[in-house]
Amino acid sequence: MRLLDTEVLSLADMAVPGRLAAIGRVLDGAGDLRPERMDDRDPPRRRIESAEQALAELEPELLAEGVLELAYLRNEPRVIGTIDITGEGADEDPPYPNEVSFSVDDEWLRDEAHRECVATALRRLAEATDAYIGNARFELPYYKQVVPMISAPLLKAGLPTPTWAKGAAAEREIDHVHWLNYYGPAFVEHWGRDRLEGLGIRQDWTANGGVVVWATKTPFVHDRKIKRTTDYAFKQPFFERLGVNTFVHEGYEPGAPGQYVPTFADHRRHAGRLLE
């Protein structure tokens, strides 16, 4: 069994009244992904009737302490999720962003309607959190292939390996092209909407000015025969439109902060709207 991982990252103030309720409404409206349990334990044990109601009860704690870390799950299909609100961590440089994420069993995703369910949840979570970036991908098999491809030659040459768009590197690069790729409004501003129109096989534009780009129809794209990350055909349009050095790959040349992707200052300019 493999898990498809889905996440959105945000620098918006999660303590704004109504923000947790908006996240809760998305989870309640997520169909088969709607959580059945939620609390601060792992695994969570508290049964809930409504994520919006459960989060509303926790809002005073968030407002008082500025941080909140929750786990949520559903038994069938198997869904494991987290809500990690970092408070002032989002204001640090580089920031520790707020995150809402969930993972779901791969076999459930063989159904097209279920894949639509994941895509809708990603789009709506991006809107509710006013996220700056997000994605849906099978992480483990892909990274087991990609990391050695990229890191091994660098280690052999005694050169530093990539940080995979973590921390300050997120102002210079994006880690990969995934099945679903959410780019927030600062990315749209930086690249221009015309470069994103028609990219991938589909684009779902979000109410906060971002876009979810489908790179492929399904997430089942891992190919053991691939020898270089740039050999994946579905990535080529992204390289051509957005620049190959926007993404970590073999031999990539990192740009200056803000050269290929927006800076955290750009993302903060766009953060903060609460969409109903």
In which residue are the tokens 């959105």 written? Answer: 8
pLDDT in tens, 88-134: 788 888 899 999 999 999 999 999 999 999 999 999 999 999 999 99
Q: What would the mean pLDDT of 217-224 be, rounded to a whole number?
A: 90
Q: Which residue has the higher pLDDT, 243 or 94?
A: 243
pLDDT at 157 over 80: no
Closest CA to 129 of 18, 256, 242, 6: 18
Element (H, E) at 71: strand 68-74
- For 62, the 3-state DSSP assignment is helix
Among 33-42, 85-94, 235-244, which is the least confidently predicted range?
85-94
Closest CA to 117 of 26, 24, 21: 26
pLDDT at 275 over 60: no
Gap between the Cα atoms of 134 and 93, Å rounded: 20
Instruction: Provide the H-helix boundaries in 104-184.
Output: 112-129, 139-156
Q: How many helices (H) and strands (E) does the chain have?
A: 8, 9
pLDDT at 78 over 70: yes
pLDDT of residue 21: 93
The token duo for 133 is 């970036």
